[in-house]
């Protein structure tokens, strides 16, 4: 029997004659198929990652063109919650003696109103509406004067002098104004929720792409090793049986 000269004939000879032939050939085919599949997954993951990234960048260009909103949404919400709690406490001081039975609810409602004023002021400043900003500032000042008057009237005249009745109220209102201004700046500098979610989607797609690349590299390496083992077997069998006879099993 003449030795097979064509690669396909030689492979057929090894598959038929060697006990490890079919096993090594199956492993090589298996890992080659996995490498091709993982390469397809890498291409798909790369496309998805780029789409997510470009979507995030386009949204950031529209919502934060100058990258001035640098405060993370979670940090901004935590600080805003702290400001809200401080406003509730200050409003409770101002309303003490006026709405004794409903003081807690009234203080929380007043604090929510102050946060709303901060949000409107931040929006007006962002959009350059100076007239609206002036109206909001004047309205906040009027409400502050009303709170001072309520605080002064709510304390019995026999327990405090004129300074204690109105001076403390003015000081508390000034603190409220400072917190409202801080809240407005915080809202202006905090990133939008949509921007945060878009960045998370991009980062998640980036992680998926990195994982797909690692899997493909491992599959490609395993496929190369399996292919080398299979080709080495073919070359060895070609050397040990040059006359085409079936080799003796190892």
Same domain, 104 and 176: yes
Same domain, 93 and 177: yes
Q: Which residue has better confidence, 141 or 148?
A: 141
Q: Is residue 9 part of a domain?
A: no
pLDDT at 146: 77
Q: Is residue 81 part of a domain?
A: yes
pLDDT at 247: 47
Same domain, 98 and 166: yes
Same domain, 157 and 202: no
Q: Is residue 248 part of a domain?
A: no
Q: Is residue 66 part of a domain?
A: no
Average pLDDT, the chain: 82
191 secondary structure, DSSP code: P
Which two tokens mark 165?
A: 């009745």
- DSSP assignment string, 85-140: HHHHHHHHHHHTTTSSTTHHHHHHHHHHHHHHHHHHHHHHHHTT-HHHHHHHHHHH
Same domain, 182 and 214: no
Same domain, 211 and 179: no
Closest to 88 (Cα-Cα) out of 113, 119, 122 = 113
Is the predicted pLDDT of residue 250 greater than 70, yes or no?
Answer: no
Is the predicted pLDDT of residue 214 greater than 80, yes or no?
Answer: yes
Average pLDDT value for residue range 202-218:
97
Same domain, 145 and 219: no
Average pLDDT value for residue range 133-141:
86
Same domain, 136 and 235: no
pLDDT at 136: 87
Placement of tokens 């929720």 in the chain: 193
Alpha-carbon torsion, ordered 139, 140, 144, 147, to 10 deg = 80
Q: What is the pLDDT confidence band of residue 152, given thresholds at 50, 70 and 90?
A: low
Same domain, 88 and 150: yes
Q: Is residue 8 part of a domain?
A: no
Q: Is residue 10 part of a domain?
A: no
Lowest mean pLDDT among 126-130, 145-149, 174-178: 145-149
Give Cα 163 to chain centroid, integer Å: 51
Same domain, 40 and 117: no
Q: How far apart are CA 136 and CA 26, in angstroms?
A: 76
Same domain, 186 and 107: yes
Q: Is residue 3 part of a domain?
A: no
Same domain, 110 and 49: no
Q: Is residue 2 part of a domain?
A: no
Q: Which residue has better confidence, 163 or 226?
A: 226
| Segments forming the whole domain that contains residue 217 | 18-61+198-240
Is the predicted pLDDT of residue 50 greater than 50, yes or no?
Answer: yes
Q: What is the pLDDT confidence band of residue 12, given thresholds at 50, 70 and 90?
A: low
pLDDT at 2: 42
pLDDT at 6: 44
Number of folded domains that form the chain: 2
């Amino acid at each position: 029997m003449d030795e097979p000269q064509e690669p396909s004939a030689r492979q057929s000879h090894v598959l038929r004659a060697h006990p490890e032939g079919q096993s090594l050939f199956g492993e090589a085919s298996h890992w080659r198929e996995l490498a091709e599949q993982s390469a397809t997954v890498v291409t798909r993951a790369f496309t998805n990652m780029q789409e997510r990234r470009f979507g995030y960048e386009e949204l950031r260009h529209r919502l934060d063109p100058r990258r001035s909103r640098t405060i993370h949404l979670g940090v901004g919400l935590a600080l805003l919650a702290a400001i809200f709690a401080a406003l509730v406490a200050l409003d409770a001081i101002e309303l003490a003696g006026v709405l004794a039975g409903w003081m807690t609810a009234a203080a929380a409602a007043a604090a929510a109103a102050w946060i709303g004023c901060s949000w409107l002021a931040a929006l007006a400043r962002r959009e350059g509406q100076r007239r609206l900003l002036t109206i909001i500032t004047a309205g906040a000042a009027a409400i502050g004067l009303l709170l001072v008057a309520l605080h002064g009237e709510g304390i019995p005249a026999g327990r405090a002098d004129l300074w204690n009745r109105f001076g403390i109220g003015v000081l508390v209102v000034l603190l409220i104004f400072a917190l409202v201004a801080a809240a407005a700046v915080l809202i202006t500098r905090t990133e939008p929720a949509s921007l945060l979610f878009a960045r998370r989607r991009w980062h998640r797609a980036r992680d998926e792409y990195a994982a797909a690349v690692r899997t493909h590299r491992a599959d490609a390496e395993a496929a190369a090793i399996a292919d080398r083992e299979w080709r080495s077997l073919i070359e060895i069998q070609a050397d040990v049986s040059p006359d085409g006879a079936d080799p003796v099993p190892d």
